[in-house]
Structure 1
Amino acid sequence: MKTLQSKIAIALLATTVFFNANAEDKKTTTSNTSSSTMLEYKSSNLNVGMYELGKVNSMKLNMALTKDAGKNAIVKIMDEKGAVLNEERIGKKLTGYNFCFDFNNVKVGKYFIEITEGDNIITKEIIKSNNTLSY
């Protein structure tokens, strides 16, 4: 019986740590009121996943984006000097979007993907070598 109680206590502790860690990522500002301190949280579903399309080292990077309904988003692929190679605009009605960028026709170097939705920005770095993409 004591072992079961220990396992439950450890599970509860781990859950508390997990939720507190995730809550810290969403904190933006602290506002003071006369009676207490209140935390304001970001409320965004903006997220991006990346993987190579087809075979490994195909140099075709597929991106899956999720975002909030009711907000526009902009996806830019830029070189390390800031020159925009591709720009996608995603309308307010969409909450998911998939697109592919072919890195076969760009030079070896460092590139960035920037996803903007209102005040929320995600930036991902991509390094193209002769035969691989790292991200």
Structure 2
Amino acid sequence: MKTLKSTIAIALLATTVFFNANAEDRRTENTNSSTMLEYKSSNLNVGMYESGKANSMKLNMALTKDAGKMATVKLMDEKGTVLNEERIGKKLTGYNFRFDFSTVAAGRYFIEITNGEHIITKEIIKGISTLSY
């Protein structure tokens, strides 16, 4: 019974840490008072997972964003060269992508998502037969 309670407590703690780590709150200064801060949240979020079997080298990305705002998704190498760029229209609130890393060299890559106000950058490391993100 004690082991079950410990397992549940650890699972709840891990879930809380995960959700807090993925929060996309942004602070902006209040124009009425320089000492007060207001929080502005955005619905610009991204999730990544490898599709199919393990080490398939195909990375799926799910994007959610606010309606009424455009978003841009760029896949870049470590030198900043844009390998792929997608623009998501104002009407869409969600979009899915698939990047095939089987044809690119091993190294560091970055996915940059922006909606004009917020930027999310994710790092992907491609090994000989693995992806880490």
Q: 1:76 aligns with which of 69, 74, 77?
A: 74
Match of 2:25 in 1: 26
TM-score, length of structure 1 as denominator length: 0.76
- In the other structure, the counterpart of 1:134 is 132
SS of residue paired to 2:30? strand
Tell me how far apart the structure 1 counterparts of residues 78 and 123 of structure 2 sit (CA, whole Å): 9
Task: Provide the residue aligned with 1:104 in structure 2.
Answer: 102
TM-score, normalising length: structure 2: 0.77
1:33 is displaced (CA, Å) by 3.4
Task: Note the aligned Cα RMSD (angstroms).
Answer: 2.3
SS in structure 2 of the partner of residue 104 of structure 1: helix
**Structure 1 residues 1-135: aligned runs within 5 Å:** 26-31=25-30, 33=32, 37-135=35-133
Whole-angstrom distance in 2 between the partners of 1:27 and 1:100? 28
CA distance in 2, matches of 1:74, 1:32: 29
The unaligned stretches of length 5 or more in structure 2 are 1-16
- Alignment: residue pair count: 114
Q: Which runs of 5+ in 1 are unaligned?
A: 1-17
Q: Where do 4+ consecutive residues of structure 1 move more than 4 Å?
A: none
Secondary structure in structure 2 of the residue aligned to 1:42: strand
**Corresponding residue SS for 1:118:** coil
Structure number, greater radius of gyration = 1
SS at match of 2:102: helix
Write the letter of the residue equivalent to 2:66.
D
Q: State the alpha-carbon separation in 2 of the partners of residues 72 and 81 from structure 1.
A: 26
- Identity over aligned pairs, percent: 74
Aligned counterparts of 1:80 and 1:91: Cα–Cα separation in 2 = 27
